[in-house]
Structure 1
Amino acid sequence: MAKIGLSQPQVSGHCEVSVSTFESRFSSVPFRFQHSVSQPDDTTKTKWVAFLRILLFPPFLFNFPFVENLSGTGDLLAPIRCSHDKAKVEQIHCGRDSLWAKATELQSRRMDSSVLICILCVGLSLHCCRLQALQCPPVATPSNITEFSCSSPSLSHFPAGFPERTTLISVEFTNISSIGEDALLGLPKLQELHLSNNRLEDLPGGLFRDLPELNTLDLTSNLLEDLPPSIFENSSSLNHLFLKMNQLTKLRPQWFHPLRQLQTLDLSNNQLKDVPPSCFSKLENLTALDLSFNFLHQLSPQILEGMPLLERLDLGGNHLHSIADKTFQEVPRLGYLFLQNNSLTRLPPGIFQPLRNLDTLFISDNQIASWDPGFSGQITKLSLDLARNPWVCDCRMSTFVDWVMRHSAVLYSREEVVCASPESLKGWVVMSLKEAEFGVC
C-alpha cells in the first residue's frame, strides 16, 4: 500500500503529492506526484491524506476506461494521456528508483476525483516501469527539461546522450566504477554534477575541461584515493566541491589553486594525515571548510592563510594534539569552529582573540584540563560545548565560569562538564559550583 500525503498551497497553480515508499510484494519504490492546476486555488484548502492500494500485477487494472494511452520506458519522460472529465496526466518520469507525473485539471478547481484518477495513473505507470529496462538519459524529452537523474544499482556505465541544454546531472547510487574522459563533452550549460554513492576509483584528468558553468560538484562516498593534479584546471566557476567519504590520503595544492570562486569545500571522512601549508592559499572566497574525521595529527600555522572570508571550520574527529597560537589570525570572520573529538591537551592563551564573530565553539571530547580562552571583547554571546574534558576546577575555571554567566553564553551538555580534580571536587558539575568552592591556583 502507498501512503500519499497531499498538501494544497496558498498560491496558484501547484500541488505536490509526496510518497515516501511504494510497497508491494516485489519492491519498495519512492516517487513523487506533481499536480498543477490551471486556475487560482482556494486558500482555505487544508492538507489531506489519501490511501491507495495498488496491486501491481493483476491485469484488470488496465481495463479502466480513462486510460487512453500509457507509455514509459526506463528512466524517461514520456507523454501520456490519462484523462478524466476533470483531469489528465501530461507527463510521466518513469524509472526503477523514482517516478513523477504532471497533471492538469480540466474543468474544476476541486481536488477530488481528479486527483484520485491521476494517482491511479501513477500506480499504473509504476507497473509499466517495472516491466521496462532502465534507459537513462531519455532518448527524447520535452525541450523545457534540463535536469536529469539516473540512479539505479544496476547501472554500471556512465550514461551518454544528455542534451546540450542540460544544467543538472545526477548519477548516484549506481555501480559505476569509472568515467571516460569525454563523458561530459558537449554540455556547456551544465551547472551541477552529482556523482555521489557510486564506486568511482579514479577520474580522468580532462573530465571537467568542457564545463565552463559548473558550480557544484558532488563526489561524496566513492572510492577515490587520488585525483589528477590538473583535474580542476578549467573549473574556475566552481562554488561547491564535495569530496567527503572517499579514500584520499593526500591533498595536492594544484587541485585548489584554480578554484578562486570556491565557497564550500568538504574533505571530511577521508584518510588525510596532513595538509600542505599552501594548499588552500588561493581560496579567497571560501566560507566553509570541513576536514573532520580524518587522521590529522598537527596543523601548519599557515593552513588558513588566504581565506579571509572563512566562516565555518570543522576539524572535529581527528588526532590533533595541539594548535599553534596564531592559527586563527588570518580568519577574523570565523563564526563556527569545531574541534571536538581530538586529543588536544591545551589551547594557547588568547588563541581565539582574533575571532570577533565567533558564535559557536565545540571543544568537547578532548584532554583539556584548564583554559584561559581570552575571547575578543566584541563577543557578547557564545555557544560552547566543553563536555567530557578532564577539567581542573581551580581559580582559572572559576574565572571562566564567571565569564560564561556574565555573557549569557549557551553551554551545551553542561551536566557533562565536570571536574576531574582536585579530588574533593571530582565528578562535580562545574556550573553548579560557587566561586568559593573552586580550588586555589
Structure 2
Amino acid sequence: MSLHCSLLLLCVTRLVSPSSALPFEQRGFWDFALDSLENGGLMAMMRDEEEISGSGELPTPDVPMCPFGCHCQLRIVQCSDLGLTEVPKNIPPDTKFLDLQNNRISELKENDFRGLTNLYALSVRNNRISKVHPKAFAPLRHMQKLYFSKNLLTTIPKNLPSSLVELRIHENQIKKVAAGAFSGLGNMHCIEMGANPIQNSGFEPGAFRGLKLNYLRISEAKLTGVPKDLPESLHELHLDHNQIQAVELEDLSRYKNLFRLGLGFNHIRNIENGSLSYLPMLRELHLDNNRLTRVPQGLPSMKYLQVVYLHSNNISHVGVDDFCPRGFGMKRTFYNGISLFENPVNYWEVQPATFRCVGDRFAIQFGNYKK
C-alpha cells in the first residue's frame, strides 16, 4: 500500500499499534513541517539558503520583507500567538509553510493569500474563523495540507484547492455536510472532522462523492449509527466517542479495504451476525467501552485480524471458538493483542484453547473485573 501524504502520522495505517488512533494535535508549527524534513524537501531548502549565504553575494534590494512580528526563514513564515485579527500583509510569495495558529482571526478574505501560489501547508488552527470567502483559497493552487481545527466554522469551506491531500477540520461547529462539499478533491487522502456537533442526518447524500480517502475520523460527534455512503477506498475509519447503538448488516458492506475500524466509546449492544464478514482485510478492531454482552460473531473467519479491543463491555462468557477458526492454516496472521479486561467474565473459566491462534500469551489482557 502506498500513501501519498507522508505527514499523515495518523493516516498511515498502523496495523499493530497498542492503542487507538488519536486526533492530530499540533503543538508547534514544525509538527507539520516534519514530512518535508523526512522527504528531503526542507533539507533542500536549507541547502539553498547555505549556498546563498556562502556565495558572498549580498541580498538584492527586492527581497520581500517579513510581516511585522512574524518570523521568516527557509520559506517558512510563523505568525502564531501574535493576537492577529486578520491575515497579515506582505507575506513572501515563495512561502511554503504559513503558520497563523493561536490568533484572533475571524474571517478569511478574498485577497488574504494573493500571490502565494507556492504554499504547501497552511495552519489557521485555534482562531475564531466563522467566515471564509468563496475565493479565499483560489491562489493556493499547490496547497496540500490545511489545518483548520478549533475555529467556528458551521460548514465546509467552499472551493478548497484541488491539490489538497489532508484536511484537519475538527473542533468546529459543523452540523451539516452538503452534497458535493468535497467536490473536485480527487487527491484528498485524509480528513479529520471529529468533535463537530454533527448527526447522521447532517450528511446529505453525495457528501463524500468523488473522494478516494485512506483515512476518515468523525469522532466525538453526535452519530447514532454508522454513516452511509462513506468513501469505499477507506483504510481507516474512526467513529469512536459517539452514540452508536448497533452495527447493522449493511453498515460496513462498502468498506472492503478497511485495515482499521474504531468504534470504541459508543453505546453498541449488538453487532448483527455477518456484519464483519464485509471486512476481509481488517487488521485492527476497536470495540472497547461499549455495552456488548458477548464476543461479536465472525472473528474466527477474519484471516488477517491481529488486534481486538473488547475491554470495558458487559461480556460474561468467552467461548472456545470465539476468536480462532477450527481448521489448520485458515488464519493467515496470529493475534498479537486481545483485550478483555473490565468485563464480568471469569478468566479462569476460559479454556486455554480459546487463544490457540494468539502469537504470545502476553497478548491476552484479562485482568480482574470489579463492579
TM-score in terms of structure 1 length: 0.61
Q: List per-residue Cα deviations over 1:288-318 (Å, max 9, x = no partner).
A: 0000000001122122222222101000000
Aligned counterpart, 1:17: none
Aligned counterpart, 1:271: 222
Is residue 212 of structure 2 the alignment partner of residue 228 of structure 1? no
Contact 2:338 2:365 in 1 (8 A): no
Matches within 5 A, 1:229-378: 229-250=179-200, 251-259=203-211, 261-276=212-227, 278-280=228-230, 283-349=231-297, 351-372=298-319, 373-376=322-325, 377-378=330-331
Describe the shift of the 1:371–1:174 C-alpha distance in structure 2 as closer, same or farther (beyond 3 A).
same
Flag the structure with higher strand content.
1
Given candidates 171, 188, 201, the residue that maps to 2:124 is 171
Cα distance in 2, alignment partners of residues 380 and 156 from structure 1: 52
Q: What RMSD, in angstroms, separates the aligned Cα atoms of the two structures?
A: 3.2
Q: Which of 1 and 2 has higher RCO (CA within 8 Å, sep 6+)?
A: 2
Contact 1:307 1:330 in 2 (8 A): yes
Contact 2:294 2:316 in 1 (8 A): yes
SS at match of 2:338: strand
Describe the shift of the 1:166–1:72 C-alpha distance in structure 2 as closer, same or farther (beyond 3 A).
closer
Once the 2 structures are TM-superposed, how far is the Cα of residue 181 of structure 1 from its aligned partner? Answer: 2.2
Contact 2:123 2:148 in 1 (8 A): yes
Describe the shift of the 1:253–1:391 C-alpha distance in structure 2 as closer, same or farther (beyond 3 A).
farther
Contact 1:240 1:263 in 2 (8 A): yes
Cα distance in 2, alignment partners of residues 179 and 91 from structure 1: 25
Q: List per-residue Cα deviations over 1:175-206 (Å, max 9, x = no partner).
A: 112222222223221211110111212335x3
Cα distance in 2, alignment partners of residues 91 and 411 from structure 1: 47
Structure 2: gaps spanning 5 or more residues? 1-26, 31-41, 52-64
Contact 1:365 1:389 in 2 (8 A): yes
Describe the shift of the 1:291–1:92 C-alpha distance in structure 2 as closer, same or farther (beyond 3 A).
closer
Cα distance in 2, alignment partners of residues 226 and 135 from structure 1: 26
Matches within 5 A, 1:36-47: 38=50
Contact 1:74 1:96 in 2 (8 A): no
Once the 2 structures are TM-superposed, how far is the Cα of residue 142 of structure 1 from its aligned partner? Answer: 5.4
Is residue 113 of structure 2 the alignment partner of residue 161 of structure 1? yes
SS at match of 1:289: strand
SS at match of 1:285: coil
Q: List per-residue Cα deviations over 1:298-352 (Å, max 9, x = no partner).
A: 1221222222221010000000001012111121111111000001112344x11
Q: List per-residue Cα deviations over 1:201-233 (Å, max 9, x = no partner).
A: 2335x332xx22111111011111112222112
**2:172 aligned partner, one-letter code:** N
